[in-house]
Amino acid sequence: STNVQLTYHLLLDHYSSPRNVGSMDKTLNDVGTGLVGAPACGDVMKLQIKVDPETDTISDVKFKTFGCGSAIASSSYLTELVRGMTLEDAGKIRNTEIARELCLPPVKLHCSMLAEDAIKSAISNYYTKNPKAASTDLGGT
């Protein structure tokens, strides 16, 4: 159907011109870095978020993926999705959501899992560096 073609186009578009490729200084306190690998294939993804501590929102995001086209498209799509999101909302993104948007076939589901793992890992790295932000988000003082 036309819809499937459009969505397939989205996958190819993110694969051939990925958004937000690059890296940030991981020693900065407001940068969270996630580095994850896919056990199924050995592909690796690095995702970094810059967080505005006032609002706990993601103000910038960069990625580098050493892997297949679906993993590159998944991470590119994810970077556009999470920009401007709160850490809480970004932590709730599921790989099935990404796979559905990009029309990934079942055999490529683990590629979108890499993107979910990467954003979770970046958030948790940010919280490790900023324990105060973590306690505030969890309803503490």
Report the interface residues with ligand FES, using CB under 6 A: 38, 40-41, 43, 67-68, 70-71, 108, 110-111, 114
Indicate if 68 belongs to the active site: no
Identity of the residue, 56 or 117, whose beta carbon is nearer to ligand FES in the bound complex: 117
Identity of the residue, 43 or 56, whose beta carbon is nearer to ligand FES in the bound complex: 43
Query: DSSP for 97-117?
Result: HHHHHHT--GGGHHHHHHHHH
Check 6, 12, 28, 41 and give the catalytic one: 41
Check 58, 73, 78, 111 and give the catalytic one: 111
Cβ 113 to ligand FES, closest distance in Å?
Answer: 8
Cβ 89 to ligand FES, closest distance in Å?
Answer: 24
Buried b (16+ CB within 10 A) or exposed e, 114-133: bbbbbbbbbbebbbebbeeb
Identity of the residue, 28 or 41, whose beta carbon is nearer to ligand FES in the bound complex: 41
Q: How far is it, in rounded angstroms, from Cα 5 to Cα 2?
A: 5
Buried b (16+ CB within 10 A) or exposed e, 40-59: eeebbbbbbbbbeeeebbbe
Catalytic residues: 41, 111
